[in-house]
Amino acid sequence: MPEPAGKASSAPLVGGSPEPTLIELSTDGRRAWSLPELDVPATPIDLPELAERLPGLPEVSEYDLVMHYTRLAHRNFGVDLGFYPLGSCTMKYNPKVADWAAARSEFTSLHPDTPAHFAQGALEVLVDAERILCELTGMYRATFQPAAGAAGELTGMMITRAYHTANGDPRTTIIVPDSAHGTNPASAAVAGYTVKEVPSNERGMVDVDALRSMLDDQVAGLMLTNPNTLGLFEEDIVEIADAVHEVGGLLYYDGANMNAILGVSRPGDMGFDIVHSNLHKTFATPHGGGGPGSGPVAVTRELAPFLPGPLPMRDEEGTLFWEMPAKSIGRVHGRHGNFGVVLRALTYMRALGDAGLRRVAELSVLNARYLESLIADHYEVPYPAPCMHEFVVSAEELKQQTGVRAMDIAKALPDRGFHAPTMYFPLIVHEALMIEPTETHSRETLEAFAAALNEIAETAYRDPEAIIGAPTTTPVHRPDEAQAARHLDVTWSMHHG
């Protein structure tokens, strides 16, 4: 291959020095792999048109390859390195015992298409996890097929549509709060519904009077999370559920915030009909980087016939087998979901038990309320009701007085050893910072994070440019994000620039 321009040194690269691409590290003839000799006759493939389009892959030694990715890994921030206070995402510690369980060869060597009678142990895992999940949510049956929360939302909307259609009453509308996760209206729209937005009241909760004015015989359901995205418990949830049910609609529970009520309160008892939960949030399996995730959907007895299938069933002799529900919407995943994620979640559930899972919710709420109290003198709290597992503050006043925005605060936190919280969400709060400490962080960590946020606010009044120019200690400083969004370039060329 052609010699790349700007050949990089193979000397160790540390600190803030530029990391070369693999193509820049490439040298003709180097290899980081070897393949065994063919044990079948070689068959020449004559595809000259394909040969002309072969990419110029980098040629590097194994050691150069390992060093390159290790250097990049050292620049990453993750839950095993520090505080990761993303609001609404429940980025908490993933116990390593769950990795041990998921890595056992009895499970990793099992093919997804293994006949049920040869995979009884794996089916028992699914049955046990489903039972616990239904107990925690107050539902009747569940599917583990959805591979993420948004996939669970879409599955729930498809079940909603199938239910109304089976009743000879196809409906047109789904209602979502103005503070909802963005995937809620997206999932409803993909399922073919018209989406209508119900406003929040002055307390940051669903405006019940406004909701009642929107309810009619075309409303298929309401999508809601409780606590809501402001971290507040919807105190009128029973009245809301009754109102939706009175017009024949269903209530869908977005499980992103279930960490706050785990073992304390159940969506089914609140009146919800369909519940998705996030195993990669509430149940401490690895989260982020595009997956794998798991967004199981649990439903009431009335809706169980519409679940995706097949589902594990038990015959009279106790043997498990697969069966498609009578009115199933069909598959929403190639096979049975991300089994390794379910196995990790079951290990977590079993390790903690009933009392431990309830303690998760209690500590997550305690940590959030404590952290909010520590920064309330420096940041506005637009909805001051007692928060649950997360809370939202505003940097609007700071912006007006100093020019420092929520984005600048988020960029200044890595200089102080912390990941940024969620920014600019929910949209009903200007210059929003949405913070969820989870139950897994110590008091000392929370106090250190609060001190960093407070110091940033104080510095903004003295020297706003010091915050607006952050970060300054990270390997990559602040990019021009507006230009990057407008002039996106995702390719690399040897003659770049």
DSSP notation for 351-374: HHHHHHHHHHHHHHHHHHHHHHHH
For residues 39 and 100, membership in a common domain is answered with no
| Same structural domain, 176 and 314 | yes
Q: How far apart are the first and last CA of the chain?
A: 20
Domain end call among 306, 325, 351: 351
Helix (H, G, I), strand (E, B) or coil at 298: strand
Predicted local confidence at residue 317, as pLDDT: 94
Do residues 145 and 336 touch, judged by C-beta distance below 8 A?
yes
Q: What angle do CA 167, 172, 176 make, to 5 degrees?
A: 115
Which residue ranges of the chain lie beneath pLDDT 70?
1-17, 51, 54, 288-291, 492-497
Q: Tell me how many domains the chain contains.
A: 3
Which residue is it, tokens 């070897």? 34
Query: Does residue 56 sit in the same domain as residue 172?
Result: no
Residues 243, 259, single domain; the answer is yes
Q: What integer pLDDT is reported at residue 492 of this predicted model?
A: 62
363 with 263, same domain: the answer is no
Asked which of 351, 376, 400 is the last residue of a domain, the reply is 351
Q: Within this chain, do residues 326 and 407 fall inside the same structural domain, yes or no?
A: no
Indicate whether 313 and 330 sit together in one domain.
yes
pLDDT tens-digit series, residues 279-320: 999 999 888 655 678 999 999 999 999 999 999 999 999 999
For residue 275, is it within any domain? yes
Spell out a b/e string for 151-176, using b for 16 or more CB atoms within 10 Å of the CB, else e. Answer: bbbbbbbbbbbbbbeeeeeebebbbb
Q: Which domain holds residue 285?
A: 96-351
What pLDDT shows up at residue 76? 86
Number of C-beta neighbours around residue 220 at 10 A: 28
Could you give the 3-state DSSP secondary structure of residue 250?
Answer: strand
Residue 466's identity, in one-letter code, is A
Is residue 304 domain-shared with residue 373, that is, in the same domain?
no
Separation between Cα atoms, residue 383 and residue 432, nearest integer Å: 12
**Assigned domain for 142 exists:** yes
Phi-psi region of 329 (alpha: psi -120 to 50; beta: other; left: phi over 0): alpha
What's the CATH code of the domain at 405?
Answer: 3.90.1150.10
Tokens linked to 19: 């990391």
Q: Which helix (H) or strand (E) holds 253?
A: strand 250-255
Q: Judge contact between 248 and 169, C-beta under 8 A.
A: yes
pLDDT score, position 290: 57
At 287 the pLDDT is: 80
CA pair distance 193, 172, nearest whole angstrom:
5
Residue 258, in any domain of the structure: yes
Contact indicator for 271, 251 with CB cutoff of 8 Å: yes
> Model's pTM, two decimal places?
0.89
Domain shared by 112 and 53, yes or no: no
Distances (CA, A) of 168 to 46, 183, 250, 305: 58, 28, 15, 16
Rg (CA), the chain: 26
Please name the helix (run of DSSP H) or strand (run of DSSP E) that holds residue 190, with its range, or none. helix 183-190
Q: Of 10, 44, 75, at which residue does a domain stop?
A: 75
- Residue 87 maps to a domain: no
The CATH number of the domain where 102 resides is what?
A: 3.40.640.10
* Structural domain contains residue 271: yes
pLDDT of 47 reads 76
Q: Helix 183-190 to helix 149-166 angle, to the nearest 10 degrees?
A: 40
Judge if 340 and 366 occupy the same domain: no
* 494 domain-assigned: no
Q: CA nearest 191: which of 218, 219, 172, 168?
A: 172
For residue 331, the one-letter residue type is R
Kindly state whether residues 391 and 450 are assigned to the same domain: yes
Q: What is the pLDDT of residues 429-461, one digit of tens each?
A: 999 999 999 999 999 999 999 999 999 999 999
* Residue 91 forms part of a structural domain: no
Q: Using CA atoms in the order 217, 223, 229, 233, what is the torsion angle rounded to 10 degrees? A: 70
Quick one: 228 and 330 in the same domain? Answer: yes
Residue 490 within any structural domain of the chain: no
